Amino acid sequence: MDGTNLRYQYKEYISDFRYWEKLHYAPYVLYKKNLGANLSIDETSLSQGELYTIVTNKAGHGKQGTLVAMIRGTKSEEVIDALEKLPRSLRLKVKEITLDLSPTMRLIAKKAFPRATLVADRFHVQRLMNDAVSDLRVDYRWQAIDLDNNEMALAKQEKRKYIPYVFENGDTRRQLLARSRHIVMKHFSKWTHSQQERAEILFREYPAIEEAYQVSMELTRIYNTTNDKNIGLTRLARWYDKVERLNLKFFKSVIDTMQNNYGIICNYFDNRSTNASAESFNAKVKAFRAQFRGVRDIPFFIFRLTKLFA
């Protein structure tokens, strides 16, 4: 039997899809039996950029019993309305929810689970800082490109061969900044020998990148070595001051985000909870989607997800 026929037989006869109560479904599925004390909330795309808000129970460990809710869209009022259909008595028992830095997700979690502590995922905070460092590197790269173009134009005007400046590791200015992308995004302990050599040149030529990188790594150290919330509050406050003193335009969004989410960022130090379970679940959804080269029949796809994870 070919794959297309097998899929048709499974959908129409072997599975109970045609008897599924959500066949003519509302834009959500809810499983109150899977509610637990510790939840994660995130968004994912199923097909052609169509976003769904997904609430998962960490106690499910990515297996059956994991999926609590899957709601089409990310509009806060629609998602809250759907989640409030879960029994209030069960929603009040939720103690903690991990989420990203999205104001929409924060509002949803606060309204739907009023007694839960909201915890900002540390990796989203670190990614924001890493992106700022990378943006600084890219800005210098554009400056290097402009400088090279000007030198090439001058050489052409003077009718001489253009020879770009080359550092001791063989990189030109443009190559140095382009090839440093992975260097500024990961911890120095994970650099290879060639990356170590390139980093020394990069930081010598562009000290502002080194300063920004060191501040970024300090945030990682705070997360990795702090187990007490009061100590975490103090260390983050000092770190925040260092970011402000950098006085770089790329870090304005980092400063604003820290100000707007300071409370839920610091809640991480209570139990060191992250949103890794939600990211893992999203990865499984994407892998499942990739097996079928996309999603053509969304209701049937959701039906199969609920069989696996709900």
Domains of the chain: 16-121+274-309 (3.30.420), 123-271 (no CATH)
Residue 65: φ, ψ to 5°: 95, 0
Provide the pLDDT confidence category of residue 21 given band limits of 50, 70 and 90. Answer: low
- Greater confidence (262 vs 302) lies with 262
Mean pLDDT, rounded, of the chain: 84
CA–CA separation, 167 vs 151, rounded Å? 17
Strand partners, 166: 172
* pLDDT above 80: residue 278: no
The structure's pTM equals 0.81
Judge contact between 275 and 123, C-beta under 8 A.
yes
pLDDT at residue 228 greater than cutoff 80:
yes
154 vs 20, more confident:
154
pLDDT higher for 290 or 278?
A: 278
Residue 117 pairs in a beta bridge with 96
CA distances, 207 to each of 137, 139, 183, 204 (Å): 11, 14, 15, 6
Specify the pLDDT at position 293: 59
What mean pLDDT do residues 139-168 have? Answer: 89
| pLDDT beyond 90 at 249 | no
E runs forming strands in the chain: 28-30, 38-47, 50-57, 67-72, 96-99, 117-120
Residue 13 is predicted with a pLDDT of 55
Give the relative orientation of helices 229-246 and 207-225 as an angle to the nearest 10 degrees: 170
pLDDT band at 210; cut points 50, 70, 90: very high
